[in-house]
């Protein structure tokens, strides 16, 4: 069977950045900034993204392109020892399961965002009841929109790598940046925005060494770059050998971090604008409100205050969130689909629909047991599975794989790779520094 491949460097960067940029950026990052001390969190996040997450991303991209296969096949290829081959397979499969669970909760949130983006349009037509249904938390609304979002994801993935993922990412990513920049410009004209900007950009240096904040920033960086679950590995496997994989990886990181930064630039000032309009933005403890409350209560209240213009802004804002989510849900679904296609020779269309249907069932199980299951699966996958698996990916790239093979893979797209700064640092970095950092994060998560 002919393996899919991205047709251009731009296409690859848009697709991989699209996989990385998602709810983690436009929702997770700003809300974490809000609850973790503003500017200090931003500073630590920037540092960790480049100094920890980027090297780990490179491990996945390089291994993926070398193996030209999904993680379950790729990791065992790095060694000749049977027990390590089995370990690699186990890590790959654990990644698949994690991805399936991430997608099942991700699709629910994405569905909310999509329903919120339709609300202003429906409101204009005068169907007030329907528009209320779209923004109220109800079983019927949650089921409907989770299923719609999963269907959209399945349709793109069943179209394949260049026709599906690449084509749609190339359209959606620039649209995302455009909407974001327009919204930021508009928000800055409103009263209160500058106070928010200050909270966002001026770090309180006394918080910079707070362990809790460092741990949260590290988890955020891993989630945001889609690490530890074989997602970037499979994208790497579709990258042409001609490309300089080191610079491509930098681009993906810069875009991912840049979009998180831009999203913060919109949302933190927006909260203070909301406060100016009389919306309550602080919780009982005096901290900024976070997560769902921020996106689904504070911001809509702000848009409501802004009259007719508020409806337009609301539409743009939630459409933006939905787009960001869609480029990530397709990357999540691609991981198990690629596995089934490659390992069992199932046609892509069939694999997409079967796996998509199974994950939709998982999503609906969460929807029906929302109270206790939703938070639990988020915690298990993002706080535990992703860091632990990320650790194993680094161990495989740094300890199990032979250095020379990694080098010759990088050299395919850059003949001077052996004398580059990247090659002077990365091999020992991914061997010692990344695993150590992740272990610290994990131990900390367990003890708290």
Q: Which two tokens stand for residue 246?
A: 């080191």
CB of 22 to ligand PFF, least distance (A): 3
Does residue number 20 form part of the binding site for ligand PFF (CB under 6 A)?
A: yes
CB 107 within 8 A of CB 364: no
Does residue number 331 form part of the binding site for ligand PFF (CB under 6 A)?
A: yes
Cα separation, 153 vs 260, in Å, equals 23
Cβ neighbourhood burial of 371 (10 Å; 0-12, 13-18, 19+): exposed
Q: Which two tokens stand for residue 84?
A: 């390590």
Map residues 96-135 to x or -, x wherever contact with ligand PFF holds by CB under 6 A: ---x--x---------------------------------
Among 4, 22, 92, 356, the residue binding ligand PFF under the rule CB under 6 A is 22
Map residues 215-234 to x or -, x wherever contact with ligand PFF holds by CB under 6 A: --------xx-x--x-x---
| DSSP notation for 199-223 | HHHS--GGGTT-HHHHHHHHHHHHH
Does residue number 19 form part of the binding site for ligand PFF (CB under 6 A)?
A: yes
**Helix pair angle (403-411, 54-67), 10° resolution:** 80
Give the length of the chain.
Answer: 448
C-alpha distances (whole Å) from 427 to each of 38, 284, 339 are: 34, 48, 28
Nearest of 24, 23, 35, 29 to residue 281 by alpha carbon: 35
CB of 19 to ligand PFF, least distance (A): 6
Q: Which stretch binds ligand PFF (CB under 6 A): 17-25, 144-152, 280-288, 438-446?
A: 17-25
CB of 76 to ligand PFF, least distance (A): 20
Cα separation, 324 vs 177, in Å, equals 10
Does residue number 332 form part of the binding site for ligand PFF (CB under 6 A)?
A: yes
Question: E strands of 323-400, at which residues?
Answer: none
Q: Which stretch binds ligand PFF (CB under 6 A): 2-10, 15-23, 164-172, 411-419?
A: 15-23
- Closest residue to ligand PFF, judged by C-beta, is 24
Q: Output 23 or 406, the one with its CB closest to ligand PFF.
A: 23
Among 35, 146, 169, 328, the residue binding ligand PFF under the rule CB under 6 A is 328
Catalog residues that contact ligand PFF under the rule CB under 6 A: 19-20, 22-25, 99, 102, 223-224, 226, 229, 231, 328, 331-332
């Amino acid at each position: 069977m002919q393996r899919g491949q991205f047709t251009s460097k731009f296409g690859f960067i848009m697709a991989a950045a699209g996989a990385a940029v998602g709810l983690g950026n436009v929702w997770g990052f700003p809300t974490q900034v809000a609850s973790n001390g503003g500017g200090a969190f931003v500073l630590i996040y920037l540092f960790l993204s480049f100094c920890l997450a980027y090297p780990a991303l490179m491990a996945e991209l390089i291994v993926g392109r070398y193996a030209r296969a999904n993680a379950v096949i790729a990791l065992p290829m790095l060694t000749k020892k049977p027990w390590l081959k089995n370990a690699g397979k186990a890590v790959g499969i654990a990644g698949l399961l994690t991805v399936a669970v991430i997608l099942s909760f991700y699709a629910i949130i994405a569905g909310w965002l999509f329903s919120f983006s339709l609300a202003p349009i429906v409101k204009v037509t005068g169907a007030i009841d329907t528009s209320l249904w779209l923004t109220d938390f109800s079983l019927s609304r949650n089921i409907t929109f989770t299923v719609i979002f999963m269907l959209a994801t399945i349709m793109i993935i069943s179209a394949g790598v260049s026709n599906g993922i690449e084509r749609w990412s190339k359209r959606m990513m620039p649209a995302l940046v455009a909407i974001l920049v327009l919204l930021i410009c508009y928000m800055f004209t409103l009263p209160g925005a500058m106070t928010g900007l200050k909270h966002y950009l001026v770090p309180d240096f006394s918080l910079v060494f707070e362990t809790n904040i460092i741990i949260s920033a590290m988890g955020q960086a891993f989630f945001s770059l889609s690490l530890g679950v074989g997602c970037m590995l499979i994208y790497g496997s579709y990258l042409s050998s001609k490309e300089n994989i080191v610079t491509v990886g930098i681009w993906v990181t810069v875009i991912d971090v840049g979009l998180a930064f831009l999203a913060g630039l919109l949302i933190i000032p927006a909260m203070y604008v909301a406060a100016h309009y009389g919306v309550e933005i602080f919780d009982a403890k005096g901290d900024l409100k976070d997560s769902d409350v921020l996106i689904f209560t504070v911001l809509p209240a702000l848009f409501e205050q802004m009259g007719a213009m508020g409806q337009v802004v609301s539409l743009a804002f939630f459409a933006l969130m939905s787009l960001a989510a869609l480029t990530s849900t397709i990357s999540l679904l691609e991981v198990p689909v690629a596995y089934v296609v490659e390992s069992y020779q199932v046609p892509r269309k069939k694999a997409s629909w079967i796996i998509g249907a199974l994950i939709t069932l998982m999503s609906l199980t969460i929807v029906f047991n929302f109270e206790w299951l939703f938070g639990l699966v988020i915690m298990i996958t993002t706080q535990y599975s992703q860091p632990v698996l990320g650790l194993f990916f680094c161990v495989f790239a740094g300890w199990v794989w032979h250095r020379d093979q990694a080098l010759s893979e990088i050299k395919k797209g850059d003949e001077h790779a052996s004398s580059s700064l990247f090659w002077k640092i990365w091999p020992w970095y991914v061997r010692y520094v990344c695993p150590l950092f992740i272990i610290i994060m994990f131990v900390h998560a367990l003890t708290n």
